[in-house]
Amino acid sequence: MPRNAALSTVSVVIPAKDDGGPLAACLAALGAQTRPADEIVVVDNGSSDATARVAAESGARVVRCSESGIPAATAAGFDAAVGDVLLRLDADCVPAPWWIERAVAALDDAPHAAAVTGGARFIDGPRILRGPLAAAYLLAYATATIPPLGHMPLFGSNFAVRAEAWRRVRAEVHRHDPDVHDDLDLAFHLGEDHVIVYRPGLTMGMSMRPFRSAASLRLRLYRGIRTVTVHWPHDFPPWRWVRRVLRRRAARIAPPPNSSTPATTPRAA
């Protein structure tokens, strides 16, 4: 994709359900960004608490999504967003002041990429364990997802995707399946034809809340396995890898998109 200086409109999308407490801290951090968002979209996925009120009082745009599940809520937020760049994080995340600025800069510095993702740091739990556990979690996630994908995954608490890339795959993602991980599912649909880049300096403060019970960990594991296998047999790893290699090779030898004939080198006089 060509470099585009007009990538200046940014929508931040936050799927939320009964997250009024942590959402307030997340929105406060988004309000202190060095590069403010052009809009913040909070998708209320059927909350019974003050989630929608907290969002509205902070100036966020509230989008209602009656279909249960994070995939449906995320897709509804991306569909409603008007920015050129769509940033995604969770309601219990607390982004650093430079998060939006660095995410947009990372995409601008990688005009060939459709999405950029980063790492994480825990902001609660035992202080001595925050760094090691975050590193172990991200390593386990990458180790489990790169082989079936054949490329870098997206980390749902911390990624940015170009709106034009989302529009190309929005009809393909499994938005109606509440038991898939929406970030991994989007990576499957983006990654075969588009580039996802990882920027280690783009970190996100996130809560240990989802990892505090064995039941929650089992559910995350089940959803991870389901997200991979729901794409089979079409995306069974060897076939997906071969298609990606062939498409990359074809892209390298294809003529420039605005050229009707291959470029030639003029002969010396």
pLDDT per position as a tens digit, 144-197: 999 999 999 999 999 999 999 999 999 999 999 999 999 999 999 999 899 999
Residues near 200 by beta carbon (within 8 Å), at least 6 away in sequence: 118, 119
In the predicted model, is pLDDT for residue 240 greater than 80?
yes
- Give all strands of the β-sheet with 85-88 in edge-to-edge order: 61-64, 39-44, 10-16, 85-88, 159-162, 113-122, 195-206
Mean pLDDT, rounded, for 90-111: 97
pLDDT digits (tens, 9 = 90+) for 8-37: 799 999 999 999 999 999 999 999 999 999
Count how many Cα atoms sit within 13 Å of the Cα of residue 102 in the half-sphere of its side chain: 17
Q: Which two tokens stand for residue 28?
A: 């406060």
Whether the CB-CB separation of 23 and 14 falls below 8 Å is answered with yes
In the predicted model, is pLDDT for residue 137 greater than 70?
yes
- CA 138 vs CA 154, 179, 216: distances in Å: 11, 21, 17
HEC profile of 85-133: EEEECCCCCECCCCHHHHHHHHHHCCCCEEEEEEEEEECCCCHHHHHHH
In the predicted model, is pLDDT for residue 5 greater than 50?
no
10 Å CB burial of residue 254 (0-12, 13-18, 19+) is exposed
Residue 16 phi, psi (nearest 5): -150, 140
- CA 206 vs CA 14, 91, 186: distances in Å: 13, 9, 21
Looking at the whole model, is its pTM more than 0.85?
Answer: yes
Any idea which fold 10-251 has?
A: Spore Coat Polysaccharide Biosynthesis Protein SpsA; Chain A (3.90.550)
